[in-house]
Structure 1
Amino acid sequence: MSASEEFLHLTATDLRMATFRLARRLRSARAADAMSDAQLAVLATLRMHGRRTISALAEHERVAAPSMTSTVDGLEKQGFVVRTPDEDDRRRVQVDITETGTEIVVETIRRRDELLADMLRELDYTEEELETLRTASALMRRVTDR
């Protein structure tokens, strides 16, 4: 393995470990304790992208359609989403987030942002270090948005 290949792999390992640990800590902060990560992800997708079919949600979340159906069933029972017949094809159903579902997403985001801000504050980063973290987050978004 060349020096640059080795550096790439070491960087990948460091990023994986750091993001996994951070994600685990942030997942603990949520507005609805009984809500699964999968359910919260679906609500966040609907809030960000609007109404979607079960198939589109399954594709976006990279799960099988039956799994997504089960996830949406649970969200619907809790009043976080509603299903409506597709205007163009009555055999299809569109899923949309309710106001209550939106409130859950907004509050969870607020709690997670506050938790992370508290964690950063405790470490007393300089503005330069915070700028480095912001630059790194933009680079990581390029990886995750592909």
Structure 2
Amino acid sequence: MSVVTPSRHRARTDAAGLGSDLRVSLSRVTRRLRAERGEADLSVGQFGVLTTLLRHGEMSPGALASHEHVKPPSMTRTVNGLVQAGLVEKVEHPTDRRQVVVRLTDVGRREVTETRRRRDAWLAQQLKALTTEERETLARASELLTLIASR
């Protein structure tokens, strides 16, 4: 099997060394994937809010802040920016008129869909350049990374 490793060093298998190598590799891939965007110039946090709303439906700003692990004032700024961009809208809470909920607009939904399409296309193109064995290795690694993330 011919697994691609950087030419400057050999892949380490001890837990600390492998952890360090994986952190660097995953960070690089993540940065590259984030560069593949839809039309809007969104921050990571803004895109996270859009994907949360797509996955879970409308939420109060407080629930969004809790879900995204940020303080409420920060979420208020994020939501207001997304409202100005036409990607989300604030609507009256269904049971408490003192509150609002945030929901995706059609434009926001299209932004998430287009960004995901671009990212998937970029990654698929990179994977095409690998051998079948290399893709099989990455498929197993994907399973293991999902296991690690779920702990």
TM-score range, shorter chain: 0.7 to 0.9
Identity %: 43
For the 8 Å contact 2:40–2:111, the answer to whether it is kept is no
Deviations 1:24-58 (A, max 9, x none): 11111101252222111110111111111111211
Give the 5 Å matches for 1:43-122.
Answer: 43-122=50-129
Aligned partner of residue 64 in structure 2, secondary structure: helix
User: Structure 1: how far apart are the matches of 2:53 and 2:96?
Assistant: 20
**Structure-2-length-normalised TM-score:** 0.84
Flag structure 2 segments of 5+ consecutive residues without an equivalent. 1-12
One-letter amino acid of the counterpart of residue 120, structure 1: L
Q: 1:60 to 1:142 in 2, by over 3 A?
A: farther
One-letter amino acid of the counterpart of residue 13, structure 1: S
Which of 23, 47, 51 aligns to 1:16? It is 23
User: Structure 2: how far apart are the matches of 1:145 and 1:79?
Assistant: 34
1:143 aligns to 2:148 (yes or no): yes
> Match for residue 125 of structure 1?
131
Runs ≥4 residues deviating over 4 A: none
User: Structure 1: how far apart are the matches of 2:31 and 2:79?
Assistant: 23
User: Structure 1: how far apart are the matches of 2:96 and 2:16?
Assistant: 48
> Match for residue 34 of structure 2?
27
> Match for residue 3 of structure 1?
none
Higher helix share: 1
Flag structure 1 segments of 5+ consecutive residues without an equivalent. 1-5
